[in-house]
Amino acid sequence: MRAFLLASSLAAVAVALIGLALTLGAGVSARDAEELIAQAEALYDRWDGEGFDFAAYEGKLRRAIALWEAALPLIPEEEVQTRAHVLNRLSQAYFELAEGYLTSREEEDRAYGKGKDYALESLRLDPEFTRIEEREGFRAALRSAGDVEAIFWYGNNLGKWLNYHYGVALTGGTGDVLAAFERSVELDERYLAGGPHRALAGFLAQVPSFLGGSRKRAKPHFERSIQLGPDYLENYVNYADYYAKPEREWELFCSLLRTALEKAQDPAVMAKWPFYNTLALRRAQALWNYRYRGERVCGG
């Protein structure tokens, strides 16, 4: 059992950090925020030269989240770029905490919800976003957003959060996810090793057709993500899991997994994306043993 839970631990650390900042002087300043942000960035750094320990990284990730949350109210309102950076970091970090370490539905729901809300707050820092949202609606604003990080992590967190909120999914939530991913592709298809294509492909392949899904439409996005991120193992694993497996294209399924497993043998490949490649490797290993009608579909 982990030593502490998400809500209580992060809140306690955040309160302590804010209290410490307040005791250092009569007030708080941008410098206080800068110091907290710098500490968070150092903890969040997965390429610090010390090697990546997936299990140990959970503690660093939690502490980084607490530091960013402590810094956020200290950032002057006019420092929009800094505020957006911290909000985007929090959105990504909560997503990663849920994907990598949380196990209960309640914790996952809460983390994805926080990630979603932080990204939305970042998007609304742009006056043009809020203007379009007021005049033309939220989805129109999503389709015009200009910050690829904010919109990408909004879509990812929202998509996961909808798994716990089916009513919202059925009444427009999935449409917002689709809009976010399509806009991400338009803004920067190379972000996070083909992330926008990877996310859009995963959405199209998994969502029912009446909510906008289509495996046929997903396939070229899976392929493009591999072209853009050949060392990002999730690109292969998602293609195998979400397209080849349901389509029963077993030769493609096994080829994609074999490539991912072979690439994972290269320490340089794993070091490029240590957190995500570790997660993808675990999935690839599990899928390699997949059985269809009692028979393994891939060789031993």
Q: Has residue 186 been placed in a domain?
A: yes
238: nearest Cα among 206, 272, 268, 270:
206
74: nearest Cα among 136, 5, 149, 19:
19
* CATH number of the domain enclosing 127: 1.25.40.920
157: nearest Cα among 74, 103, 201, 97:
97
The DSSP symbol for 210 reads: G
Mean pLDDT of all residues in the chain? 91
pLDDT for residue 47: 86
Range of the domain at 178: 6-46+53-226
φ/ψ of 52, rounded to 5, equals -110, 125
Distances (CA, A) of 13 to 10, 66, 76, 96, 188: 5, 6, 22, 19, 35
Instruction: Return the structure tokens found at 122.
Output: 């970042």
Other Cβ atoms less than 10 A from the Cβ of 125: the count is 16
Q: Has residue 71 been placed in a domain?
A: yes
Tens-place pLDDT, residues 216-261: 999 999 999 999 999 999 999 999 999 999 999 999 999 999 999 9
Q: Has residue 278 been placed in a domain?
A: no
Q: Has residue 281 been placed in a domain?
A: no
pLDDT for residue 11: 47
Tens-place pLDDT, residues 12-38: 444 444 444 443 443 456 689 999 999
Confidence of residue 48 (pLDDT cuts 50, 70, 90): confident
Q: How many Cα atoms sit within 13 Å of 199 on the Cβ side?
A: 32
73: nearest Cα among 17, 8, 117:
17
Confidence of residue 49 (pLDDT cuts 50, 70, 90): low
pLDDT for residue 299: 74
Tens-place pLDDT, residues 85-115: 999 999 999 999 999 999 999 999 999 999 9
Number of structural domains the chain divides into: 1
Question: What is the rounded average pLDDT of the residues 74-93?
Answer: 97
For the full predicted model, state whether its pTM sits above 0.75: yes
Q: What percent of the chain has pLDDT over 70?
A: 89
Residue listed under structure tokens 């195998």: 240
Q: What single letter denotes the amino acid at residue 102? A: L
Q: Has residue 184 been placed in a domain?
A: yes
Q: Has residue 155 been placed in a domain?
A: yes
Q: Has residue 222 been placed in a domain?
A: yes
Q: Has residue 83 been placed in a domain?
A: yes
Instruction: Return the structure tokens found at 256.
Output: 């994609």
